[in-house]
Amino acid sequence: MGEPIETIEGWYALHDFRRIDWDTWQNLGAAQRREAVRELTALATQYHAVAPDVGSFGLYSVIGHKADLLFLHFRAEPQALWQLERRLDQGMLASLLHRPYSYFSVVELSKYLARGLNDEDARASLRKRLQPSIPDVNYVCFYPMNKRRQGNDNWYMTSRDERRDLMKGHGIIGHKYHEQVTQIITGSQGLDDWEWGVSLFADDLLPIKKLIYEMRFDEASARFADFGPFYIGLRVNPPNIAEILGG
């Protein structure tokens, strides 16, 4: 049998996707729409102002039919994420913000990647990865994934050394894009329906596309990876919420 690899966990993550009921929104009076925009702008501004040592937040307008908005939160405790959800659910727009999807997970780093962290600079680097600040760039790409468990392509029946070598090759590809794409990996075994969530951030979508395409040819993905739905979001600053809602 395969042997588990220990992981180090950091902040919890919530990808909170919302779909706007546009028909109901258009039927609201002008004053109601203005008040709803004001309230949502104030709430997003509070989310965005979270101290860097407490958490991080990003708001995105989702491209395509799967959702309209993504509220992306990182916090130290699950209870904090629950409270952030409830605050949004209790606002004026609560009845208009349906939830087509959400994903709950925790920032995860394999101990393979944490070796040699004996000096302060290395430990600071580790903290930065476990308590990430959402990059201030144009786009996010999020997708969940599993490691395959089928016949000879069963990731969990391979040896530690084989998995380490496979992921090393995976990392080499990722490093080619590290100046263009920031990656945050979150683990969700026992927390959500998939095993990992992958969040990619970049100023241009094409490096994300090229990175994912190239990794499909790597054995770790070609043999062992199953992917869920992909969501693409365009970063929104809270003062621009009115533009999205047209109010």
Residues recognised as catalytic: 143
**221 φ, ψ (degrees, to nearest 5):** -90, -45
d(CA 193, CA 15): 13
How far is it, in rounded angstroms, from Cα 243 to Cα 164? 47
Q: Cα separation of 56 and 102, whole Å? A: 17
Distance (Å, whole) CA 234 – CA 243? 13
Query: Contact at 8 Å (CB) between 109 and 10?
Result: yes
Assigned token pair, 209: 């596309």
Neighbouring CB atoms inside 10 A of 152's CB total: 7
Return the SS3 of 246: coil
Tokens 């683990």 sit on residue: 187
Spatial neighbors of 167 by CB under 8 A, at least 6 apart, are: 110, 112, 220
Per DSSP, which regions of 66-177 are E strands? 69-75, 97-110, 139-147, 149-150, 153-154
DSSP-assigned letter for residue 143 = E
Cα(147)–Cα(221) distance, rounded to whole angstroms?
9
